[in-house]
Structure 1
Amino acid sequence: MELQSLHNKVALITGASKGIGRAMSTLFAEKGATVYAIARSAELLKELANEAGNKKGRIIPAPCDVTNAGAIEELIGQIVRKKEHIDVLINNAGLGHFGAIHELTEAQWDEMMDVNLKGVFLCTKYTAPHMIKRQSGHIINISSVAGTVAFPGGSGYCASKFGLMAFTDVLTQELKPHNVKVSVICPGSVQTHFGQNDPKDYALRPEEVAYMAYQMAAAPEHIIMNQLIMRPVVPRQLQK
């Protein structure tokens, strides 16, 4: 299967300053895309852009809080006015707080819902109209295995990711008539410092998740990769 070129494509990637978002930004720039890297840390985004200086494409730092509707609307408007199109939106920004339901604070719950769901809603809300107008585009949401299987201590995180799966399903149906693709990736454990625990040695690497996002974005025009669940192979001696 021959993949499409990302040359002259414009990609927006949230949560781009570290982990999976950073790996995706780097890979998409390597493949020739102009990447608007969105995150709250201007300093980390600047470092990322400098590291990508010799790529085929380039990374443009776009410091922004995905939960701020006004800021997101303004940023996406600026990008469209400058580049005239957005080809790929990757909603990757996310966070998790873990613990028994009665131990979670209201602030922790609200933060997960704001970033993991509201942020996706806002970025999609202000990007989708431009894709609909062009009758072209691709939205890729980064969910989690926790959006398909619940576990003790994951009430808020699972709720937000199950919600993201439902959001993705509805979005698929709404945008299909406009030739806009919608995909979702559900990684298992990844070697990032996510949550309170250090990553397992056998966990997926951010670059591996990034590569699958690239495969989705560059798939032939007539192919939609709707949903991908990724899990690492657990060493036999650690299997229960």
Structure 2
Amino acid sequence: MLFESLKPALHAGAPLDLIWLALGSVPVAEFAARARPGALVLDLQHGLWERGTLEAAIGAAAQRVPVIARCAENTHAAIAQALDAGAASVLVPLVETAGEARRAVEASRYPPHGRRSGGGVRPLLAGVDAMLAADREVAVGVLIETAAGVANVEDIAATPGIDYLFIGTGDLALSRGTHDAEVLARDCERVLQAARRHGLACGLFTADAEAARRAFAEGYRMAVCANDIDLVRNGFLAARAHSLGAAANPAGNPHE
């Protein structure tokens, strides 16, 4: 198989802990894959990934864990780039209607089930039959991260070919014009219940392992246990604080 499929885990119903990678580092992706999370997410929308590093990261990780590519946008070109690189799943941003969900599915599947163009270096490595077999294992997720997406979530969840919903709380707060926790919680619950009614997994972007555990307890099936930006930043800060110590950090320290 071209990649470790995400679909068996989605169908099994067990929680999927995700490691979210935005820094564009192939070695970090390989290290993360060795930790054996439920899946890796490579953020192509806001992260630093380029085509070469994307291909290399998926090559290093995809036989160990499923790799989800958060696409830059809901277009055939963006989705094809992620899948041609060998991603097991695409997570399509800013989906607000059933029509946009259908477009994501069509771009993710070869004819007669969609409109994806056949080709790509990695998909054809083992021949056309293997390429078509991999096509059947591609999982399509959509990000619900606007007020319009929440309003239309029932129709989005009912779209044939959608495998999971994922809530982007940051953009949802921007769309709502508020960070009020109760408002956002109601939106998240509405998406979660729609996913359940349609037999789909529902994911939530969470900041750390503790938040991921809370999300799983609330019924979410996918949550982010770690992301590379926070791990690197917090690791450097913690190392420096530990090395200096409070007593060794006088008021005049030029590093503060």
TM-score (norm 2): 0.38
From the CA coordinates, give the structure whose radius of gyration is larger. 2
TM-score (norm 1): 0.40
